[in-house]
Structure 1
């Protein structure tokens, strides 16, 4: 099943209330479907930021991308979700992950658990929030996104959106995945969805770490070569998490990812907010024709 494109911007830069509202309104003008907030120390606090985003806009949904469940007690998180869903007029989408930055846990004084324990805590959180996310007669259902390494089976069972990562995280460092590795993960995930007996597949999301409209995509890709010295130039150019080139070339690239991997939801960081706008317009034009 080919799902329609959805586009999200992840807001990671703090600012004044007016600056925040202006950026959110601009995202709406450019056609973004989702305004997301990450969950890292030094970035805006997710829930109050989402309430402000919803108040400043009328169309986009708002969501977390993704909450570090290691920071949170499920019962207290349920209260945050219920309140935020109500204050945003039912436009909330909840994204959850295990958390992967050891240094942030150390700074916060919260134990950074081993991978298996973090996955167990995420699983418990998802299961305990199931009733909250369903809503009731007076509140809308809250869609769930699950993302991170080692959680594909969990996502296949519970998520409305599955976020695929372009990297492998150890808690201390990140290794960028080559183009072949995400394809293998998608194949594994499809098996988990079949195992779960889903009638409708989850939407598949990918975070584009870099997105630039440029006449020289090779030069743009070369900027990250120092970060990935273990990859060849050809491998860097082929990385799914990069979207560099002309508007048409980027649109073709994302269309190809949807055709090959079923990825129809793409997130960009807010430093690419403006640059990615024409790509959204081009893909909307194609879908309408």
Structure 2
């Protein structure tokens, strides 16, 4: 399905390193043309909100997102305070990414029970509605810089989560597949499976379809070893999981070829699925930059 919404490009950054190194990486992402800098939420990695505030100090225009918060870890009222304060400190550049949590080992490490998938989705919905209600209250303090709070992105794959996203999200993020029950493996979606998910979500959105942005997390960017002018480039091919392809087709979350070929693949994904916001991992940040240039 075609969309007239312009492309946006994000990169999910890994924070480890010094303050100077983190700031330099964020500046580099902005220089390369990325529109959004994301920070994930995993135990064993730095906390997202301090990292986002420092990223704002190092950059000028890039939006900043939690991609995505492990929502069951948070009390909604306390999270609202952190979100509003962070939005203030980054001058309204915050986008709030939320997920239902999926890695059982992280709950075990935090000595927290690992609820069922349905319970985690219910908590995510309660959190979204609490945040919306607080930010829409003119008496609420601290005030976020954005009048009704930052845009909300909800990421996931299953039916229950997609129903919540269709009702509440400004951005719906598709991770390109689904996690195993304990979160220790990712199964890549085929083109047919992505077709089904998009159709399902569009049916839920109804009249909201045109107002909701679709994000695709590109799990891998595989550039060919030969550029369009025939000169050799470094081999950046990495192995994929055994279920990464559905027959002869690459899964939608994997792009391959020269920058120009990948740019065409993203146009096709926009036409077929409505994806206009694409996010890559930090290890593909430099690799993907020529694709951004080809689409600008």
Instruction: Provide TM-score, normalisation by structure 2.
Output: 0.88
Q: Which residue of 2 aligns with 1:202?
A: 212
Q: What is the rounded CA distance, in whole Å, between the counterparts of 1:107 and 1:189 in structure 2?
A: 34
Q: What is the rounded CA distance, in whole Å, between the counterparts of 2:135 and 2:155 in structure 1?
A: 17
What is the 5 A alignment of 1:176-191? Answer: 176-191=188-203
Q: Which residue of 1 aligns with 2:239?
A: 223
Kindly report the root-mean-square deviation, in angstroms, between the aligned alpha carbons of the 2 structures.
Answer: 2.1
2:191–2:246 Cα contact (<8 Å) kept:
no
- Please state how far the C-alpha of 1:244 moved relative to its aligned partner: 2.1
Among 150, 158, 166, the alignment partner of 2:176 is 166
Among 138, 153, 156, the alignment partner of 2:166 is 156
Q: Mean Cα displacement is larger for which, 32-41 or 11-20?
A: 11-20
Q: Which runs of 4+ in 1 moved over 4 A?
A: 132-138, 219-222, 229-233
Q: What is the rounded CA distance, in whole Å, between the counterparts of 2:236 and 2:189 in structure 1?
A: 18
What per-residue deviation string (whole Å, max 9, x for no partner) do you get for residues 66-113 of structure 1?
A: 101111110110010011000000100000010011111111111111
Residue 94 to residue 138, structure 1, CA distance change in 2 (3 Å)? closer
Among 67, 70, 80, the alignment partner of 1:68 is 70
Q: Which residue of 2 aligns with 1:277?
A: 289
> How many residues are treated as equivalent by the alignment?
277
More helix by share: 1
Residue 216 to residue 265, structure 1, CA distance change in 2 (3 Å)? same
1:193–1:201 Cα contact (<8 Å) kept:
no
Q: What is the rounded CA distance, in whole Å, between the counterparts of 2:155 and 2:72 in structure 1?
A: 14
- Please state how far the C-alpha of 1:182 moved relative to its aligned partner: 1.1
What per-residue deviation string (whole Å, max 9, x for no partner) do you get for residues 106-153 of structure 1?
A: 111111110110010001001001034558688314111011133111
Residue 133 to residue 30, structure 1, CA distance change in 2 (3 Å)? farther
- Any gaps of 5 or more consecutive residues in structure 1? 285-289
Q: What is the rounded CA distance, in whole Å, between the counterparts of 1:260 and 1:220 in structure 2?
A: 27
- Please state how far the C-alpha of 1:229 moved relative to its aligned partner: 5.0
Q: Which residue of 2 aligns with 1:144?
A: 152
- Please state how far the C-alpha of 1:44 moved relative to its aligned partner: 2.5
- Please state how far the C-alpha of 1:2 moved relative to its aligned partner: 2.3
Q: What is the rounded CA distance, in whole Å, between the counterparts of 1:50 and 1:32 in structure 2?
A: 15
Q: Which residue of 1 aligns with 2:61?
A: 59
Q: Which residue of 2 aligns with 1:234?
A: 248
What per-residue deviation string (whole Å, max 9, x for no partner) do you get for residues 175-224 of structure 1?
A: 22112111110000000001xx427431000101111332379x966711
Residue 280 to residue 158, structure 1, CA distance change in 2 (3 Å)? same
- Any gaps of 5 or more consecutive residues in structure 2? 228-234
1:164–1:182 Cα contact (<8 Å) kept:
no
Q: What is the rounded CA distance, in whole Å, between the counterparts of 2:144 and 2:170 in structure 1?
A: 21
- The answer to whether 1:119 aligns with 2:139 is no
2:190–2:246 Cα contact (<8 Å) kept:
no
1:186–1:261 Cα contact (<8 Å) kept:
yes
1:143–1:160 Cα contact (<8 Å) kept:
yes
